[in-house]
A and B are shown apart, each in its own frame.
Chain A
Amino acid sequence: MLKKMLIHGLIAAAVIGGAAAVYASGRGDGYAMDDAAPTMRVDQANPETANNGYIAKDAGSRSFWRGHDDDHEREHEYGERSEHDRKQGERDDD
């Protein structure tokens, strides 16, 4: 009888545990994150683009193909670098 009750209890534990796991996965386990502050530095700097820590699919292309408005900025950056290189006497292909 005791053995039977023990087995019944374990089966019930498995059923309740399974249901609890389903509930927890739907809920997003752990404490509620509704009002949690972002912990990643990138999230703190850019709350609007805060993500889940994974690199986005378009992360590389976005940084490489910046929009037209940024072209002059890039030229300016290169210009500054060239000026700097001239002063320091350094070359990129050294």
Chain B
Amino acid sequence: MTPTMTPRQQQTLLLFWHAWFGGGYLVTYLTADEDTYGMHLFAGYAVLAAVIVRVLVGLIAPNSKLLKLPQPKLGGLSDWFRSGKGRHPFFSWFAATLLIVIGAAAATGALSDSLMTWLEDPHEAISEASLWVIFAHIAFVTFMYGGKKFIRQAVTKLADRLPFTHA
């Protein structure tokens, strides 16, 4: 797959997948009510399909920088906090955690619908937990790509307005 795809195409594919995954999760979470069970089922299977596709693509293209599966390492985490250089390891940690948690939520949901109804409670618990992982992921990414700059500007503006900072 990867030899025929340019990095730009791979990025487009990844963005498309991200939209599919995120949009599907949003619909699934918002329709997690008995009245909208049919929609919940459909969107949940869409999320499960997205997870399966992502894992398959990652296995097919293990050498692609963009499409390979995230491989978080504890060593990388400690190295980054010591040196502060390179890509933040939380990106891969969040990616792997989200794939596992949302994949588990989708898989337990699919199984509890037909084969193992006792998985209904674990499915709900994992789904609730997944929402907080997503919030943390959004907060982290927003901070990394815009939040740091925004906070720096806000602190500078605030410092300029304080009377005691002007001698």
Whether both chains belong to one complex is answered with yes
A interface residue numbers (CB < 8 A to B): 1-2, 5, 8-17, 19-21, 23-25, 27-31
A-binding segment of B23-31, B64-72, B84-92 = B23-31
Complex interface: chain B residues within 8 A of A12 (CB): 19-20, 22-24
- Cα distance A12–B22 in the bound complex, in angstroms: 8
Nearest CB in chain B: distance from A9 CB, A:
4
Complex interface: chain A residues within 8 A of B40 (CB): 20
Task: Report, as a range, how many residues of chain B touch the other chain.
Answer: 20 to 34
Q: B39, A17: Cβ atoms under 8 Å?
A: yes
Complex interface: chain B residues within 8 A of A24 (CB): 36-39, 41-42
**Which of A2, A8, A11, A29 is within 8 Å of B38, CB to CB?**
A29
Complex interface: chain B residues within 8 A of A1 (CB): 145
Complex interface: chain B residues within 8 A of A23 (CB): 38-39, 41-42
Given contacts A2-B142, A16-B27, A17-B27, contact A29 B19 (CB under 8 A): no
A9-B26, A16-B24, A16-B27 known; 18 other A-B pairs, CB under 8 Å? A5-B15, A8-B15, A8-B23, A9-B22, A10-B26, A15-B23, A16-B43, A17-B31, A19-B42, A20-B38, A20-B39, A20-B42, A21-B39, A24-B38, A24-B41, A27-B38, A29-B36, A31-B37
State which residues 14-68 of B face A: CB under 8 Å: 15-16, 18-20, 22-24, 26-27, 31, 34-43, 46
- Cα distance A8–B12 in the bound complex, in angstroms: 11
Given contacts A2-B142, A2-B146, contact A13 B27 (CB under 8 A): yes
- Cα distance A39–B141 in the bound complex, in angstroms: 51
Nearest CB in chain B: distance from A13 CB, A:
4
Nearest CB in chain A: distance from B149 CB, A:
12
Q: B39, A11: Cβ atoms under 8 Å?
A: no
Q: A9, B39: Cβ atoms under 8 Å?
A: no
Complex interface: chain B residues within 8 A of A14 (CB): 23
- Cα distance A17–B36 in the bound complex, in angstroms: 11
23 intermolecular pairs with C-beta atoms under 8 Å apart = A1-B145, A2-B141, A2-B142, A2-B145, A5-B19, A9-B22, A9-B23, A9-B26, A11-B19, A12-B20, A12-B23, A13-B24, A13-B27, A16-B24, A17-B23, A19-B46, A20-B42, A21-B39, A24-B41, A29-B35, A30-B37, A31-B34, A31-B37
